[in-house]
Amino acid sequence: MQFFTNGFSPFARKVALALDYKGLAYEPIDGLTHENRDALLKVNPRAEVPALIDGDVTIVNSSDIVAYLDLKYPERPIYPAAIKDRVEARALERLADTRIDAIMLDCSIWTWADRKDVAPPGLMEAGQADLDTIFARIESVLANCPTPLPFGHLTIAEFALWPHLAALRPLGFTMSPELYPRLNGWFATMRRDKLFLNDARRTGEFMKSIPTNTSFERERIFWRGDRIEWLLARGFDDWFFAELRAGRTIWPE
Ligand SMILES: N[C@@H](CCC(=O)N[C@@H](CS)C(=O)NCC(=O)O)C(=O)O
C-alpha cells in the first residue's frame, strides 16, 4: 500500500493509527512536501492528505479510507459492533474532524506557519470556550459508557480524537481534570498505549524538523470549509479577509 500522509495532519494520523492497529504494512509518502505535490495531485485532485493506494483501489478522505480498511481487512475491527455504539463512535469522529480540528488549526497557525504578526485578540479565548463546550458534550457521552474504553476496544473515536487531544497542552489549551474527569481518564488510557506513543514519537520528530525544513509551504495557509466556518462564526472575518487579500491563502485544487 502507498500511503500519502504527513506528520502534522490529524486526518493522516487517524488513518496511520488505523493501519498500525490492523498491523498492515504500507509505504508512507509525505504528500505535503513540494517534491511530492504532483504525485499527490494525481491521487487526490484536492491535494489533501491522507490518500491511500491499495492495489488497484485509490481512496481519499480519512473517514472513507478507514471505512475501506475495515471492510477489506476485517480483522481487529475499528468500528464498534453494536449499532448504537457505532453511531456514537462515528459522531465522536465527526466532532473531532469538523469542530475540534477547525478550532485547533485556526488557533495554532502562529506556532507552525512563518508569521510576522500575532494572533488576532480573543482568538485563543474563543477557541478554549468552544473546546470546553465540546469537552462537556464528550464527558456526558462517556457517563453512559464503560471504562477505560467506552466501546470496549480501540475504535475510530480514539483514532480521530487522539491527534487533537495530544496537541492541546503544547498549543496552550487546557482540558480541566475537575470538569472532565472521564475524558481525562480516557485520554490517559490512550497515552499509555504503544500505538499512540508511536504516533506521538513520529509527530514529535516531524515537528522538530519544521523550522529548518524547506520542503513545506509555511507562508500561505491551506483553507477549507470547517476551518473557515469557525473563524467567521466567531467574528474573525476581518482577519480572514485580510489574509485573503494579502495572498496568504491556498485552496483545494
Ligand atoms: N476531509 C479530509 C480533510 C483532509 C485535510 O484537511 N488535509 C489537510 C491536512 S490536515 C491537507 O492535506 N491540507 C493540504 C495542505 O496543507 O497543503 C479528510 O478527512 O481526509
Note the pLDDT of residue 253: 81
Q: Judge residue 109's burial from the number of C-beta atoms within 10 Å of its C-beta, 0-12 exposed, 13-18 middle, 19 or more buried.
A: middle
Distance from the alpha carbon of residue 143 to the mean position of ligand 1, in angstroms:
32
Average pLDDT over residues 87-92: 98
Distance CA(117)–CA(199), nearest Å, equals 31
Are residues 135 and 171 both part of a single domain? yes
- Secondary structure of 47-85 in the HEC alphabet? CCCCEEEECCEEEECHHHHHHHHHHHCCCCCCCCCCHHH
Residues lining ligand 1, Cβ inside 6 A: 9-11, 32, 47-50, 61-63, 97, 222, 224
Are residues 6 and 112 both part of a single domain? no
Average pLDDT over residues 211-240: 94
Note the pLDDT of residue 248: 95
- Tell me which residue has its CA closest to atom 6 in ligand 1: 48
135 part of a folded domain = yes
In sequence order, which ranges of the chain are alpha helices (DSSP H)? Answer: 10-22, 37-43, 62-72, 83-94, 101-112, 123-142, 156-168, 181-191, 194-209, 225-233, 237-245
The preferred substitution site among 33, 48, 217 for testing ligand 1, maximizing ligand atoms within 8 Å of CB, is 48
Ligand 1 atom at minimal distance to the Cα of residue 32: 17
Are residues 55 and 126 both part of a single domain? no
222 part of a folded domain = no
Ligand 1 atom at minimal distance to the Cα of residue 8: 10
Ligand 1 atom at minimal distance to the Cα of residue 101: 10
Domain carrying residue 164: 83-212
Are residues 90 and 187 both part of a single domain? yes
Average pLDDT over residues 172-176: 98
108 part of a folded domain = yes
Q: Is 217 helix (H, G, I), strand (E, B) or coil?
A: coil
Are residues 100 and 40 both part of a single domain? no
**Nine cell digits for residue 197:** 506513543
Note the pLDDT of residue 214: 87
**Nine cell digits for residue 147:** 471504562
250 part of a folded domain = no
Q: Any idea what DSSP says for residue 216? A: S
- CA-CA distances (angstroms) from residue 214 to 28, 108, 218, 239? 19, 20, 9, 26
Are residues 156 and 175 both part of a single domain? yes
Q: Are 5 and 40 in contact (CB under 8 A)?
A: no
Average pLDDT over residues 102-129: 96
57 part of a folded domain = yes
231 part of a folded domain = no
The preferred substitution site among 4, 6, 9 for testing ligand 1, maximizing ligand atoms within 8 Å of CB, is 9
Q: Pick from 165, 231, 171, 223: which is nearest to 199 by CA?
A: 165
Choose the final residue of a domain: 72, 107, 123.
Answer: 72
Ligand 1 atom at minimal distance to the Cα of residue 221: 16
Choose the final residue of a domain: 72, 102, 132.
Answer: 72
| Least reliable range by pLDDT among 61-65, 209-213, 242-246 | 209-213
Instruction: Tell me the per-residue pLDDT of 134-157, one tens digit each, with 9 for 90 and over.
Output: 999 999 999 999 999 999 999 999
Distance from the alpha carbon of residue 73 to the mean position of ligand 1, in angstroms:
24
Q: CA dihedral in degrees (79, 85, 89, 91; nearest 10)?
A: 130
Task: Evaluate if residue 213 carries a pLDDT over 90.
Answer: no
Q: CATH number of the domain at 16, please.
A: 3.40.30.10
Are residues 67 and 119 both part of a single domain? no
Are residues 100 and 38 both part of a single domain? no
The preferred substitution site among 222, 250, 253 for testing ligand 1, maximizing ligand atoms within 8 Å of CB, is 222
Are residues 67 and 122 both part of a single domain? no
- CA-CA distances (angstroms) from residue 198 to 40, 76, 190, 191, 250? 25, 18, 11, 10, 31
Average pLDDT over residues 200-211: 92
Distance from the alpha carbon of residue 225 to the mean position of ligand 1, in angstroms:
11
199 part of a folded domain = yes
Are residues 134 and 160 both part of a single domain? yes
Note the pLDDT of residue 212: 86
Q: Are 160 and 97 in contact (CB under 8 A)?
A: yes
46 part of a folded domain = yes
67 torsion bin: left (phi>0), alpha (psi -120 to 50), beta (else): alpha
Q: Model-level pTM?
A: 0.97
Q: CATH number of the domain at 179, please.
A: 1.20.1050.10
Q: Pick from 78, 60, 63, 64: which is nearest to 24 by CA?
A: 78
- Tell me which residue has its CA closest to atom 5 in ligand 1: 48
What domain count does the chain have? 2
Instruction: Tell me the per-residue pLDDT of 102-114, one tens digit each, with 9 for 90 and over.
Output: 999 999 999 999 9
